[in-house]
Amino acid sequence: MKNNIIVFTDLDGSLLNTQNFKFKKAKSLIKKIIKDSNFIIPNSSKTELEIKNFIKKLKIKLPFISENGSEIHNLNTIERKLPKKITIARDRNTILKIFLKNMSKEILIKCDFLYKMDNKKKSKILGLKGKDLIASSKRKFTYPFIFKGDNKLKKLLFKKTYKAGLGIQQGGRVMNLGDNVNKGMAIKKTLNFIKSVNKNKITTIAVGDNQNDLSMLKVVKYPCIVSNRSIKINNKNKIYTNKKAPEGWIEVVKKAMDKINK
Mean pLDDT computed over 175-179: 97
Q: Is 246 helix (H, G, I), strand (E, B) or coil?
A: coil
Question: What local confidence, expressed as pLDDT, does residue 262 receive?
Answer: 83
Question: What local confidence, expressed as pLDDT, does residue 145 receive?
Answer: 97
Which string of DSSP letters, residue by residue, matches 160-216?
HHHHTTEEEEEETTEEEEEES--HHHHHHHHHHHHHHH--SEEEEEEEE-SGGGHHH
* pLDDT confidence bin for 2, thresholds 50/70/90: confident
Question: What local confidence, expressed as pLDDT, does residue 171 receive?
Answer: 72
Q: What integer best gives the mean pLDDT of the chain?
A: 96
pLDDT in tens, 209-248: 999 999 999 999 999 999 999 999 999 999 999 999 999 9
* pLDDT confidence bin for 170, thresholds 50/70/90: confident
pLDDT in tens, 105-135: 999 999 999 999 999 999 999 999 999 999 9
Handedness of CA 65, 15, 205, 227 (dihedral sign): negative
What is d(CA 109, CA 158) in angstroms, rounded to the nearest whole number?
A: 15
Ordered structural domains, the chain, with CATH:
3-87+182-260 (3.40.50.1000), 92-179 (3.30.980.20)
- Phi/psi for 220 (5° steps) reads -115, 165
Residue 11 CA, chain-centre distance (Å), reads 7
What is d(CA 55, CA 42) in angstroms, rounded to the nearest whole number?
A: 9
What's the pTM value of the predicted model, to 2 decimals?
0.96
Question: What local confidence, expressed as pLDDT, does residue 173 receive?
Answer: 75
- For residue 178, give the nearest of 192, 167, 188 by alpha carbon: 167
Q: Which helix (H) or strand (E) holds 28?
A: helix 27-35
Indicate if the pLDDT at residue 1 is higher than 80: no
Q: How far is CA 112 from CA 117, 125, 205, in A?
A: 8, 12, 35
Question: What local confidence, expressed as pLDDT, does residue 133 receive?
Answer: 97
pLDDT in tens, 38-77: 999 999 999 999 999 999 999 999 999 999 999 999 999 9
Q: Is the peptide bond before 246 cis (omega within 30 degrees of 0)?
A: yes
3-state helix, strand, coil in the chain (%, to 5): 40, 25, 35
